[in-house]
Chains A and B, each alone.
Chain A
């Protein structure tokens, strides 16, 4: 790279920055002087509005540094052909000018006012809406985990005939090897059967793999309702069963057999689960049910996701969708593409197919019955009103329902077309389409904000009764909605995003350096972090600061052994207190420490970037050049901190790394798998650092605890948290609703003792009420 391009990059890198909140109005004389300096010395490379000039400097001058920080930087480095020639006064003036004219977020908001954009459903919103839309035609039943499944043990007689129920109990999981024995005294060892049934809780959305292993006969059913009249029995001589998710009913060859199946599930919902098992004269008996959840490892389906209570099944759209735009840091539906329309069409066909297969239970009518057409029309009309989140006009009903039921068209075909018509219509796909402000629209907005889905019956009723007009009425609904599992699922999604867990898909480490850090440990760590988040967020205090400052980790026996702690041998995940100077909330959770590490060593850069952006809410430009960290290029006696210091020492790097490195170094007490350490490469760990905040204050850090305390008290970190949660909720920036909305929400959050649930309710309420005032 030539020296010239290099120096151009330097400017780009260094003008990253950060806001300082509300400063006093700048002195007009200072701005005038700054403008003059800018025109004379800066405009040729940066353009009249800081937009950049092609081939000179094409990065726009934007950021959130304070005026003071900008001034210091300009004086030190500008102009690029004669750095240092700009006087302190001129630098201060030009900093004040650009800050006010186009550099700061406030200036940019004035220059380019953010607008509430029309959005289509995201992939997640489409899936959630469809699941709730169809479930709404029956009785919905969810089961929270109880720690196991119902088990019923039977004595068999003759071939595959249940003779006598010998034992009923709860089993924590399905992984049993009876050998040549019988499961209980009351049953003979040569032939018996077991039926396990209950529900499975899906912690997050995605494809779940299941694996059944047995040398005997077994079937697995996940998320399928059993056909009516299909009792829990092994004698299937005439049962018209639902197709099993996995069918290993016939043992063959006396060998262990296994089969896997992939099942798409939506997070935050429970699904019917059943395993039927039988032994008939084989020598041995065993059966094991395992799963691999998204991001997880193969493991026996654990008790913490099992329930003895029943659930209804859900329709989960499995058609793949193109990824939603996440360029602003949250998935949103601001763009349409051919691939998206294609996916929507295919998904609608998929849903129409599912409906066709369940017409009996959905419409209460039979093929050929005299009430068939009326029943299908009635169903389609209700489907349209729920999917479109509002009543239909007579004209619309004629067009999207009745019109398809023409002469010569089978009523089932007509219904299929009506379903396609309803689901591919912009009325379903763009929830804010009409720009309506009535109660039905409010219900639609709330359901989308807190559930990514459609209004439930209570919301629809509230809308019908005119109970969604005032902020208090809306708050009442939002509060109710928060206790629904769908709200938890959406908030879980937010934390995954906040902590970059979506990207943490491969956390494997060098097995020689970190023996024992295997897939199972990683899977447990994920569960540990989820449990922690769940515990903090849904506790009574629901305190944002506890996320950062907690001095405990959730560990099970496997994790405890690995991280040098003690828990009772039969415990699931229990909170384990650590030395508060060592562990601090999510910052030192081993999963994140490992995720932000290299294969063999810690990575202060990745950890620092994560802290800078996600926890402290500062902005960083992408690095001007990609520099790969190559461990073997360094003097082998250096510590990680020394290597990073050497690597990022250039001024062109330090624009960002002056912020990143101190934060990253403060976590150097943790190795690449998140274990506490005092020595790195045979030298004592140095985790002290000086971090300069956006407005130029220097914070002395001596470890993770100091960073956590700083983040917990930092207004900018808190504001960033509020902003990110708002965006996750509404898929739009708060600025688009009202210029001061973020400030108001932040102030309320502070008054509410950093109460996350209350913050979320206020975000939901504000999104509706502010929206009402905003003209399109």
Chain B
């Protein structure tokens, strides 16, 4: 019988993803060098950003190919970065097979390959399971980890904003391999814990050692010589630990951990706040060179964000089904997409304001934000003309312009990304969509 072996699941699964299984690493092992001297080749970073349910094409796509004039409404928030923005129109998710349009839109987006048949039934088509290959973010992360000069503490950081706590082809776009969906972490505190937990724990531990030593001293007074010797030995180790903790504290981060606003939930209503926190953490992870590849997933395919904070009470997916003639709905969809664009602009701004550590320019010079969607347009469920917006630099792509293609498989964009970081793949995803090679974007 052909048995698919899944990755071993650890109960404290989250620790597993640290890359340093907490159990295997001595408590006081110094943090991995966060800014070790590397060869001077500037870093290349990329963030894959997902927002759902298609865009409003007339308010999104630039009219003409070539250098941007003023952005239309949805891209307007990116105006300050116009010369670093590359829009690519005409890319299509050509993957067919099992699963409805949303499922394939989501789970074939970064993978470019078919879903396995399965037991998850969408609104139409046949039931499906997971993608049958890895996603481009995981592939880039894997590749960069194979080289000493691009190796980082985390191969990828997989973040979410208000992604529901369930695993199915609508909520997973990142795959470590066939049948290996990667769960995004929507809770900023959990991300913080992953990035800085060890340090914070050390800090907390350091704060109690004085008291413990006092206890040991007091207790020793009531004991005979031999028993006291045991406690004295204990005290010696406590002192040693104190010294090592001090030492660890001296290993400064290039950029200190961000202060997170307390009490933010992963629920719909807290989206604006958790979005800010996730992007702060992301910028910090880059500044401290903890990773080079990240993904940031806003809700999920068929996501029902209710953006009350911009006056939209209806669910995003429901709105996206309304016909083009429904002006009220189109207006709300525009607002929703503008809000998403603002999130991306805010992230770009933070990257722009953060100097590249030990190098030249800013983080944005060496970071590409890639914003995309599982559909081209909500009410048609089309997988053609899917939004692809690249912001930033570092991959050698010529930006500040709109590219228009003619129904080109999006697999070729993923090949272009792989080639840009030196991973000269012959195909990515289903090879039959790759025969024309990587998209030329230089």
Judge if B310 is at the interface, Cβ distance under 8 Å.
no
CA distance A253 to B207 in the complex (A): 53
Q: Are B9 and A261 in contact (CB under 8 A)?
A: yes
Judge if B237 is at the interface, Cβ distance under 8 Å.
yes
Q: Are B119 and A319 in contact (CB under 8 A)?
A: no
Identity of the chain B residue whose Cβ is nearest the Cβ of A340 in the assembled complex: B237
Least Cβ–Cβ distance between A649 and chain B, in angstroms: 46
Given contact pairs A278-B119, A338-B237, A342-B27, A259 touches B204 in the complex (Cβ within 8 A) = no
Judge if A346 is at the interface, Cβ distance under 8 Å.
yes
Judge if A262 is at the interface, Cβ distance under 8 Å.
yes
Least Cβ–Cβ distance between B99 and chain A, in angstroms: 11
Per-residue contact bits, chain B 237-250, to A (CB 8 Å; 1 contact, 0 not) = 11011000000000
Q: Which of B224-277 contact A (CB under 8 A)?
A: 224, 226-227, 230-231, 233-234, 237-238, 240-241, 262-263
Q: Are A253 and B116 in contact (CB under 8 A)?
A: yes
Q: Which of B128, B167, B209 is most buried by chain A, counting CB atoms within 10 A of its CB?
A: B167
Given contact pairs A318-B23, A434-B219, A249 touches B167 in the complex (Cβ within 8 A) = yes
Q: Which of B354-408 contact A (CB under 8 A)?
A: none
Q: Are B129 and A252 in contact (CB under 8 A)?
A: yes
Q: Are B130 and A250 in contact (CB under 8 A)?
A: yes
Q: Which of B3, B5, B118, B121 is most buried by chain A, counting CB atoms within 10 A of its CB?
A: B118
Q: Are A281 and B10 in contact (CB under 8 A)?
A: no
Q: Are B9 and A260 in contact (CB under 8 A)?
A: yes
Per-residue contact bits, chain B 3-37, to A (CB 8 Å; 1 contact, 0 not) = 11111111111000000001100111000000000
**Contacting residues, chain B, for A258 (C-beta < 8 A):** 3-6
Q: Which of B105-134 contact A (CB under 8 A)?
A: 115-122, 127-130, 132
Judge if A240 is at the interface, Cβ distance under 8 Å.
yes
CA distance A254 to B128 in the complex (A): 10
Q: Could you say which of A56-64, A73-81, A417-425, A711-719 contacts chain B? A: A417-425
**Contacting residues, chain A, for B211 (C-beta < 8 A):** 399-400, 403, 421, 425
Least Cβ–Cβ distance between A258 and chain B, in angstroms: 6
Judge if A621 is at the interface, Cβ distance under 8 Å.
no
Q: Are B132 and A253 in contact (CB under 8 A)?
A: yes
Q: Are A257 and B179 in contact (CB under 8 A)?
A: yes
Judge if A367 is at the interface, Cβ distance under 8 Å.
yes
Q: Are A417 and B227 in contact (CB under 8 A)?
A: no
Q: Are A425 and B215 in contact (CB under 8 A)?
A: yes
CA distance A404 to B204 in the complex (A): 10
Q: Are B129 and A250 in contact (CB under 8 A)?
A: yes
CA distance A262 to B241 in the complex (A): 31
Select one of A245, A345, A399 contacting B9, CB under 8 A. Answer: A245
Q: Are A426 and B219 in contact (CB under 8 A)?
A: yes
Select one of A117, A159, A217, A249 contacting B226, CB under 8 A. Answer: A117
- On chain A, the number of residues with a Cβ less than 8 Å from chain B's Cβ atoms is 78
Q: Are B262 and A367 in contact (CB under 8 A)?
A: yes
Least Cβ–Cβ distance between A236 and chain B, in angstroms: 5
Select one of B117, B132, B230, B240 contacting A118, CB under 8 A. Answer: B230
CA distance A261 to B5 in the complex (A): 12
Select one of A247, A254, A336 contacting B230, CB under 8 A. Answer: A336
Given contact pairs A249-B168, A281-B127, A426 touches B10 in the complex (Cβ within 8 A) = no
Identity of the chain B residue whose Cβ is nearest the Cβ of A246 in the assembled complex: B9
Judge if A237 is at the interface, Cβ distance under 8 Å.
yes
Select one of A245, A338, A403, A426 contacting B212, CB under 8 A. Answer: A426
CA distance A367 to B264 in the complex (A): 10
Q: Are B11 and A338 in contact (CB under 8 A)?
A: no
Q: Are B4 and A256 in contact (CB under 8 A)?
A: yes
CA distance A404 to B210 in the complex (A): 13
**Contacting residues, chain A, for B169 (C-beta < 8 A):** 250
**Contacting residues, chain B, for A486 (C-beta < 8 A):** none
Judge if A558 is at the interface, Cβ distance under 8 Å.
no
CA distance A476 to B174 in the complex (A): 61
**Contacting residues, chain A, for B132 (C-beta < 8 A):** 253
Q: Which of A225-244 contact B (CB under 8 A)?
A: 236-241, 243
Interface residues on B, range: 35 or more
Q: Are A426 and B241 in contact (CB under 8 A)?
A: no
Least Cβ–Cβ distance between A308 and chain B, in angstroms: 24
Q: Are A434 and B222 in contact (CB under 8 A)?
A: yes
CA distance A293 to B234 in the complex (A): 35
Least Cβ–Cβ distance between A728 and chain B, in angstroms: 22
Select one of A348, A349, A427 contacting B215, CB under 8 A. Answer: A427
**Contacting residues, chain B, for A279 (C-beta < 8 A):** 119
Q: Are B119 and A250 in contact (CB under 8 A)?
A: yes
**Contacting residues, chain B, for A399 (C-beta < 8 A):** 211, 214
Q: Are A257 and B6 in contact (CB under 8 A)?
A: yes
Q: Are B179 and A280 in contact (CB under 8 A)?
A: no
Given contact pairs A253-B129, A417-B204, A261 touches B223 in the complex (Cβ within 8 A) = no
CA distance A256 to B121 in the complex (A): 19
Judge if A464 is at the interface, Cβ distance under 8 Å.
no
Given contact pairs A247-B9, A346-B27, A367-B262, A252 touches B116 in the complex (Cβ within 8 A) = yes
**Contacting residues, chain A, for B130 (C-beta < 8 A):** 250, 252
CA distance A157 to B367 in the complex (A): 48
Judge if B442 is at the interface, Cβ distance under 8 Å.
no
Select one of A251, A278, A337, A420 contacting B205, CB under 8 A. Answer: A420
Given contact pairs A341-B241, A424-B212, A433-B219, A250 touches B120 in the complex (Cβ within 8 A) = yes
Per-residue contact bits, chain A 158-180, to B (CB 8 Å; 1 contact, 0 not) = 11100000000000000000000
Q: Are A256 and B215 in contact (CB under 8 A)?
A: no
Select one of B28, B121, B204, B216 contacting A160, CB under 8 A. Answer: B121
Judge if B39 is at the interface, Cβ distance under 8 Å.
no
Q: Are B262 and A255 in contact (CB under 8 A)?
A: no
Q: Which of B6, B115, B116, B238 is most buried by chain A, counting CB atoms within 10 A of its CB?
A: B6
Judge if A602 is at the interface, Cβ distance under 8 Å.
no
Identity of the chain A residue whose Cβ is nearest the Cβ of B181 in the assembled complex: A250
Given contact pairs A247-B167, A416-B204, A430-B219, A262 touches B117 in the complex (Cβ within 8 A) = no
Identity of the chain B residue whose Cβ is nearest the Cβ of A436 in the assembled complex: B222
Q: Which of A339-359 contact B (CB under 8 A)?
A: 341-342, 345-346, 348-349, 352
Q: Are A342 and B28 in contact (CB under 8 A)?
A: yes
Q: Are B237 and A413 in contact (CB under 8 A)?
A: no
Judge if B423 is at the interface, Cβ distance under 8 Å.
no
**Contacting residues, chain A, for B1 (C-beta < 8 A):** 255-256
CA distance A453 to B222 in the complex (A): 24
Least Cβ–Cβ distance between A410 and chain B, in angstroms: 6
**Contacting residues, chain A, for B27 (C-beta < 8 A):** 342, 345-346, 349
Judge if B148 is at the interface, Cβ distance under 8 Å.
no
Judge if A724 is at the interface, Cβ distance under 8 Å.
no
**Contacting residues, chain B, for A117 (C-beta < 8 A):** 226-227
Identity of the chain B residue whose Cβ is nearest the Cβ of A434 in the assembled complex: B222
**Contacting residues, chain B, for A434 (C-beta < 8 A):** 219, 222
Q: Which of A132-162 contact B (CB under 8 A)?
A: 158-160
Q: Which of A240, A260, A334, A345 is most buried by chain B, counting CB atoms within 10 A of its CB?
A: A345
Given contact pairs A118-B227, A417-B208, A426-B231, A253 touches B164 in the complex (Cβ within 8 A) = no
Identity of the chain B residue whose Cβ is nearest the Cβ of A350 in the assembled complex: B22
Least Cβ–Cβ distance between A352 and chain B, in angstroms: 7
Select one of A237, A281, A349, A403 contacting B166, CB under 8 A. Answer: A237
Sample of 18 A–B contacts (CB below 8 Å): A158-B121, A238-B164, A246-B9, A252-B116, A253-B117, A253-B179, A254-B116, A257-B6, A261-B11, A262-B8, A281-B121, A336-B234, A342-B28, A403-B211, A413-B204, A426-B216, A427-B219, A430-B219
* Given contact pairs A342-B26, A399-B214, a sample of 20 additional A-B residue pairs in the complex whose CB atoms are under 8 Å apart: A159-B127, A216-B119, A240-B165, A245-B9, A250-B120, A252-B117, A252-B130, A254-B118, A259-B5, A261-B9, A278-B119, A282-B119, A318-B23, A320-B23, A338-B237, A342-B241, A417-B204, A424-B208, A433-B222, A434-B219
Q: Which residues of A contact B (CB under 8 A)?
A: 115, 117-118, 120, 158-160, 213, 216-217, 236-241, 243, 245-263, 278-282, 318-320, 334-338, 341-342, 345-346, 348-349, 352, 367-368, 399-400, 403-404, 410, 412-413, 416-417, 420-421, 424-427, 430, 433-435, 776
Q: Which 4 A-B pairs have the closest CB atoms?
A: A252-B129, A253-B116, A118-B227, A259-B6
